[in-house]
Amino acid sequence: MISLEWIFLPAIILLGVVTSYQDFKFGKIKNKWIILALIYALIVYVIGILFYNFYGDLNIEYIIELSTNFLFAIFVGFGLWITGIWTAGDGKLFIAYATLIPLSMYSLGYYKYTPSLTLLINIFVLAVFILLIPIFLKIKFKDIRKISIDFLKEFFKPSKLFNSVIGLFAIFWIVQLLLSFLGLKNVFILKLICSFLIFAGIESRLKGKSVYLILIICFLRLILDKSVYSLDFLYNFLMIILIWGFVKSFLNGGLSKFGENFFVKEVFVEKLRPGMVLEEIIIKKGKISKKELIELQKSQDIGVIRYLGENYLKKVKSFQNLESFLGGEPEGLTHSQIKKIQDMGIKKIKVSSTIPFAPFMFLGVIITLIVRSNILLFLKGLF
């Protein structure tokens, strides 16, 4: 039988070329290409399963890993969309690629049950490296100082630091138990990614509503998990908090604020068009005291809006603040959302300079097919 690698390669290339062009040209990815890719993969796998079953050579373990890999891709795609890092189209495209790439293509540095973790690493390593080039080429010493100060301010905010500590203490334990059940206890990077996505999703959607549940889980862990009283645990947990702090500060402040000079612009509301992605959210505030109003009016990053007898705040969007009065923006602004903004009397609002992510994803796929491993392990092996 022909190798799966050659059967899937034309579909991978076609999907990559078409979606990269669409994302670059129109700023969106049509669902039909994702659906066609998934149908193609399903047909190939069904035929393969029937063929090997007929000859009595069916590998059940392979089917199980295909299924768990698909579920992992859904988890990642949905998680990165719900936290605002990806659009819905990017999340669905990742699922399609993870389904099309045969497990044999991850022959080096294979992650059991979740091999597409390699693809995810390659996509983000390449994307971050390429996107940071224009920033670092123009960065100045005063900008480095500002980035450092913003990073430290964001990281050491007492309330946020406390939420990070208890949140990760609870969630990392739950994730660790689940992965241990699947035999993946030692895959540290998988535990990190799963914990960060779940925690980021909870912070962005549930906010303070989940604090009591998290505190209960923390209390249970202190009773049931004796490893938390060791120095090894303390060292590892501090590393997790530092990594999380860096990621969160990167997305909320510090370097991301400097990146606004390159990727964010302020436009007049009448120039808003469907598909544009806002860099600010509008949230309902309720009552505002005179003292609070004075403080808000002094802020350069927050605008106070009075609309239909209610108070609203216009502030910079972060992955922790995604729930807007306007509703979700999975594929950018809609006509109705633009009308809402215009009706509120807002003059200007910040939008992202659209960065097509599909080409980065396709590049990550190509690198994965070539090196058959995550690029960090590949580079490490060269030295």
Provide the pLDDT for residue 300. 55
Is 289 in contact with 304 (CB distance < 8 Å)? Answer: no
Give the model's pLDDT for residue 93: 96
Does 297 share its domain with 245? no
Residue 267 lies in a domain: no
In a domain, 24, yes or no: yes
CA dihedral (332, 337, 342, 345) in degrees, to 10, reads: -100
pLDDT of residue 294: 62
The answer to whether residues 121 and 11 belong to one domain is: yes
Residue with the bigger pLDDT between 187 and 142: it is: 187
Confidence of residue 322 (pLDDT cuts 50, 70, 90): very low
Give residue 267's pLDDT: 82
Whether residue 332 is found in the same domain as residue 373: no
Are 334 and 307 within one domain? Answer: yes
Q: Is residue 273 within 8 Å of residue 354, measured between CB atoms?
A: no
Rounded CA gap, 367 and 374, in Å? 8
* H-run or E-run covering 307: strand 302-307
Residues 8, 126 within the same domain: yes
Segment of 194-198, 231-235, 324-328, 360-364 carrying the highest mean pLDDT: 360-364
Is 253 or 18 the better-scoring residue by pLDDT? 18
Q: How far apart are CA 287 and CA 270, in angstroms?
A: 29
Mean pLDDT, residues 271-290 taken together:
72
Picking from 224, 257, 290, the residue at the C-terminal end of a domain is 257
Q: Is the pLDDT of residue 57 over 90?
A: no
Q: State whether 14 and 97 are in the same domain.
A: yes
Contacts of 119 (CB under 8 A, 6+ apart): 94, 97, 98, 101, 364, 365, 368
Is residue 83 in a domain? yes
Res 35: pLDDT: 96
pLDDT mean over 63-90: 89
Q: For residue 304, give the 3-state DSSP assignment.
A: strand
pLDDT over threshold 50, residue 377: yes
Give the pLDDT score at 71.
95
What is the structure's pLDDT at 320?
47
Closest CA to 170 of 201, 232, 214, 236: 214
| Full domain range(s) for residue 230 | 139-257
* pLDDT tens digit sequence for 292-321: 666 655 565 666 666 666 667 666 665 445
Nearest to 305 by CA among 344, 351, 347: 344
pLDDT digits (tens, 9 = 90+) for 9-36: 999 999 999 999 998 888 788 999 999 9
Weakest-pLDDT range from 57-66, 82-91, 214-223, 271-280: 271-280
With 0-12 / 13-18 / 19 or more C-beta atoms within 10 angstroms meaning exposed / middle / buried, residue 122 is: buried
Q: Are residues 124 and 150 in the same domain?
A: no
Instruction: For residues 126 and 173, state if they share a domain.
Output: no
42: how many CB neighbours lie within 10 A of its CB? Answer: 11
Q: What is the pLDDT, as a whole number, of residue 302?
A: 67
Average pLDDT, the chain: 81
What's the pLDDT score for residue 37? Answer: 97
> Is residue 112 a part of any domain in this protein?
yes
Domain count, the chain: 3
Distance from chain centroid for Cα 122? 14
Asked if residue 12 and residue 123 are part of one domain, the reply reads yes
pLDDT, position 217: 92
Closest CA to 105 of 362, 365, 359, 361: 365
Rounded distance between C-alpha atoms, residue 3 and residue 76, angstroms: 28
Residue 271 falls within a domain, yes or no? no
In 3-state terms the chain splits into helix, strand, coil percentages (rounded to 5) of: 70, 10, 25
**Does residue 337 sit in the same domain as residue 370?**
no
Which of 161-170, 272-281, 326-335 is modeled with the greatest confidence?
161-170
How much is the pLDDT for 245?
74
Say if residue 258's pLDDT is above 60.
Answer: no
- 65-74, 129-138, 228-237, 333-342: which has the highest mean pLDDT? 65-74
Average pLDDT over residues 119-134: 86
Is there a domain that residue 229 lies in? yes
Q: Are residues 367 and 343 in the same domain?
A: no
Predicted confidence at residue 87, as pLDDT, reads 82
Alpha-carbon torsion angle 315, 201, 338, 317, nearest 10: 20
**pLDDT at 328 > cutoff 80:** no
Q: How confident is the model at residue 147 (pLDDT cuts 50, 70, 90)?
A: low
Q: How many CB atoms sit inside 10 A of residue 340's CB?
A: 18
Q: Do residues 8 and 119 share a domain?
A: yes
Strand 280-284 and strand 302-307: pairing?
unpaired
pLDDT band of residue 133 (cuts 50, 70, 90) is confident
Task: For 180-197, write each residue's pLDDT tens digit.
Answer: 887 777 778 888 888 888
What is the pLDDT confidence band of residue 8, given thresholds at 50, 70 and 90? very high
Query: Does residue 268 belong to any structural domain of this protein?
Result: no
